[in-house]
Chains A and B, each alone.
Chain A
Amino acid sequence: TQLLEQSPQFLSIQEGENLTVYCNSSSVFSSLQWYRQEPGEGPVLLVTVVTGGEVKKLKRLTFQFGDARKDSSLHITAAQTGDTGLYLCAGARSGGSNYKLTFGKGTLLTVNP
Chain B
Amino acid sequence: AAGVIQSPRHLIKEKRETATLKCYPIPRHDTVYWYQQGPGQDPQFLISFYEKMQSDKGSIPDRFSAQQFSDYHSELNMSSLELGDSALYFCASSLGRTRTREQFFGPGTRLTVL
Contact = CB atoms under 8 A, between A and B. Distances in A.
A92 interface: yes
Interface string B84-108: 0000101010100101111111111
Interface size class of A (residues with CB under 8 A): 20 to 34
A99 B33 CA distance: 9
Given A30-B99, A42-B107, A101 B45 contact: yes
Interface residues of B, number: 30
Contacts, number: 73
Contacts of B17: none
A6 to B, nearest CB: 9
B42 interface: yes
Interface of B: 4, 31, 33, 35, 41-45, 48, 50, 55-56, 58, 88, 90, 92, 94, 97, 99-108, 110
Interface of A: 30-31, 33, 35, 40-45, 48, 50, 88, 90, 92, 97-106
